[in-house]
Amino acid sequence: MLAELINQPNYSRFAGNLRNFAQAYRLASRLQETGEVAEAQSAWETINSALGENPLSYCKLGECLMLLGHADEALAAFRVAAGCDLRLHWAHLGMANSLFALGQFEQAEEALQMAIALQPNDTMLAKRLKYMQDHGLPQRVELLLNQQQREAAIALLKSFLLKRPDSTQACALLGDLLCEPSDNTLPGMTQLHELRKAQCILEALLDDVETRLDETIE
């Protein structure tokens, strides 16, 4: 990738120094892979200061910054990489991971969807998307509830379930919002409450689908 990069017109002036850049790249990679992350960050920054904005080593810098816990700086690095080459799925994946770490779950999903569109056969990207959706959903719901946006939280969960009807987590969260818990401790009341929750979820989803169909017809 480095050789291909330096052969591009924007970087052709560095072609005579390819060997030096390759040695520096190997050194920085070795530092990163052996846990010398701060030293690796310094090495990537040195390469970038010489090479200028580029997609490859800015992605590597972003990885280092994520390992150091600097998600906001990592996001900036990955954005530089994506700006240099929008076709590089690696940069969009890095942006997604950074945004997720920063709690910007919706934007993280959008960035990962871009990575998937660029590499549709990469099953690991699809697994990462599912992970982000599952782990981000409770936090998104909690944030909306803390902002007194109960209806928005319900709408989010309904939309999620229409895309992922197999999500037991989304069902549980939506059921708790739609059906208030009962204090009745008589035998069988727990099962009855779960049945009522399931009924409320089904009715809410059917109403939502009907509304969407009506809007489409209109």
Q: Return per-residue pLDDT of the chain as tens, 218 residues.
A: 999 999 889 888 998 999 999 999 999 999 999 999 999 999 999 999 999 999 999 999 999 999 999 999 999 999 999 999 999 999 999 999 999 999 999 999 999 999 999 999 999 999 999 999 999 999 999 999 999 999 999 999 999 998 888 899 999 999 989 987 666 566 665 676 678 888 888 888 888 777 777 666 66
pLDDT at res. 203: 86
H helical segments located in 119-185: 123-146, 150-163, 168-178
The per-residue pLDDT for 118 is 97
Per domain, the residue ranges of the chain are 149-218
Q: What is the pLDDT of residue 186?
A: 63
- Give the dihedral of Cα atoms 111, 149, 206, 211; nearest 10 deg: -80
Helices (H) and strands (E) in the chain, counts: 11, 0
pLDDT, position 112: 97
| pTM for this model (two decimals) | 0.81
Rg of the chain over Cα atoms, rounded to whole angstroms, equals 24
Burial class (CB in 10 A: 0-12, 13-18, 19+), 32: buried
